[in-house]
């Protein structure tokens, strides 16, 4: 069997302390010899209660001792949005060493961060800034002892090939993954701490913490050593239901060095879930990890998504979300307004839902599917193509 350490690159979504978007984590050794990860990355955290549109924002970088004004050359334009109490991952330049990031980034840039010292600015437009005092700078982090500018009297500490710097949690404590990343006292030296990942010490099962990104749940864990490890069965359950296997992650057999694993789930049919790992040896013996409870956040409105694939033959998928438990009806109509099929007609729990629709009995053509739940009505078009 093995000693297992669970750690998390990105933290759990919890309401924060600050009232603006912040830089939550910086890792600058991506791809270097001995690096944990193949790419540099920056994580943003939104501690507010509203989604923020990032389509006109940017991340900008300057070397620790750089003095040019305005800054030049090193800028990643952001896209999309960051949900309330959520995180946004920016993958930057990388190399050949280390593993891929355990969750797909929101945007990919080409900035090569310095592993131990530099300056990073979060900017609410895409013009190069003049420096830390630029009116468009929302957050600024100088890290490493040689950084010539930073928030407060001291820069954040220096990360390394096997560590990042992380913002203190919502209580000002040096934890990452259980209580947000919302502390901002405008002093980088006080607000950031060094997060060693993976841990250099093999320990027994320490923690198993989920990470929520919108409607997805990220699980990340590490083994300190492995003996006869075939792999991990990832299991999930909802209230009043049995455990269900939702995936499998191959193990590394025998190893005396830390190994990292990740699994992403997009659960349906509710907002409250539990997860556990079933570690399986080659001889068939197994043991379970502790359980972790997860609640999806931010489902505060009805949505009806466009079906996929579209056009389709003969099946397609319809996704929608409910902020509360409702009786839901989805019906299909032709161009004459005649009902030709009923997809669902039953009570469903709050959360994200996915329905498979079989259009085998429909002729080629354009149809409309209509969702009715409480006072919510929504209609979208799909095409059956034979």
Q: What is the three-class DSSP state of 189?
A: helix
Q: For residues 121 and 63, what is the distance between their CA atoms, to the nearest angstrom?
A: 12
- For residue 219, what pLDDT is reported? 86
* 45 closest CA partner among 216, 168, 128: 168
CB 189 within 8 A of CB 153: yes
Low-confidence ranges of the chain (pLDDT < 50): 1-16, 198-206, 256
To the nearest 5 percent, what fractions of the chain are helix, strand and coil? 0, 45, 50
What does DSSP say about strands 107-108 and 86-94: parallel, antiparallel, or unpaired? parallel
- Domain residue limits at 375: 303-384
pLDDT in tens, 336-369: 999 999 999 998 888 888 889 999 999 999 999 9
Number of domains, the chain: 2
Helix or strand holding residue 196 (H, E): strand 192-196
Q: Kindly report the CA angle at 79 between 73 and 85, in degrees rounded to 5?
A: 115
CA angle in degrees (0–180, nearest 5) for 113-26-131: 65
pLDDT score at 214: 73
The answer on 328 and 271 residing in a single domain is no
Per-residue model confidence (pLDDT) at position 257: 52
Cα 276 to chain centroid distance, Å, stands at 19
Position 11 scores a pLDDT of 39
Which of residues 295, 326, 345 is at a domain's end? 295
| CA 370-374-377 angle, 5° bins | 30
Q: Is residue 167 part of a domain?
A: no
* CA–CA dist 348, 361 (Å, integer): 26
Are 221 and 280 within one domain? Answer: yes
pLDDT of residue 73: 92
Tokens 């924002």 locate to: 57
Q: Strand, coil or helix: what is 188?
A: helix
Of 272, 236, 244, give the one whose Cα is nearest residue 349: 272
Q: Is the distance from CB of 236 to CB of 286 less than 8 angstroms?
A: no
Residues 291 and 221 in one domain: yes
User: What pLDDT does 208 receive?
Assistant: 63
The enclosing H or E element of 190 equals helix 188-191
Q: Does 282 reside within a domain?
A: yes
- Give residue 205's pLDDT: 41
Using the 3D structure, point to which of 238, 272, 295 is the last residue of a domain: 295
């Amino acid at each position: 069997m093995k000693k297992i350490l669970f750690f998390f690159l990105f933290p759990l979504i919890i309401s924060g302390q600050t009232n603006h978007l912040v830089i939550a984590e910086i890792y600058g050794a991506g791809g270097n010899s001995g690096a944990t990860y193949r790419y540099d990355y920056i994580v943003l955290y939104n501690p507010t209660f509203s989604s923020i549109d990032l389509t006109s924002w940017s991340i900008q970088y300057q070397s620790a001792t750089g003095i040019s004004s305005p800054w030049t050359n090193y800028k990643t334009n952001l896209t999309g949005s960051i949900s309330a109490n959520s995180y946004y991952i920016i993958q930057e330049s990388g190399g050949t060493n280390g593993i891929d990031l355990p969750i797909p980034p929101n945007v990919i840039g080409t900035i090569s961060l310095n592993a131990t010292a530099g300056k990073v600015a979060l900017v609410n437009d895409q013009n190069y800034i003049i420096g830390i005092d630029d009116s468009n700078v929302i957050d600024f982090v100088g890290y490493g002892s040689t950084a010539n500018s930073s928030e407060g009297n001291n820069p954040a500490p220096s990360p390394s090939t096997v560590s990042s710097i992380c913002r203190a949690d919502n209580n000002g404590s040096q934890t990452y993954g259980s209580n947000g990343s919302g502390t901002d006292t405008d002093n980088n030296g006080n607000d950031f701490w060094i997060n060693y990942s993976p841990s250099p010490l093999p320990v027994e099962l320490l923690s198993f913490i989920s990470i929520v990104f919108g409607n997805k749940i990220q699980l990340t864990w590490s083994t300190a050593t492995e003996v006869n490890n075939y792999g991990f069965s990832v299991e999930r359950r909802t209230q009043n239901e049995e455990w269900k296997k939702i995936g499998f992650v191959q193990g590394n057999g025998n190893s005396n060095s830390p190994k990292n694993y990740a699994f992403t789930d997009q659960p349906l049919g509710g907002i409250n879930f539990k997860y556990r790992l079933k570690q399986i040896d080659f001889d068939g013996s197994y043991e379970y990890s502790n359980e972790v409870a997860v609640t999806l956040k931010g489902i505060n409105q009805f949505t009806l998504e466009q079906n996929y694939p579209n056009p389709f033959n003969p099946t397609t998928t319809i996704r929608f979300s409910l902020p509360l438990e409702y009786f839901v009806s989805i019906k299909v109509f032709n161009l004459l307004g005649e009902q030709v099929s009923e997809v669902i007609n039953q009570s469903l729990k709050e959360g994200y839902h996915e329905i498979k629709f079989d259009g085998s009995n429909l002729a080629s053509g354009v149809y409309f599917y209509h969702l009715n739940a409480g006072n919510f009505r929504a209609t979208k078009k799909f095409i059956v193509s034979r």
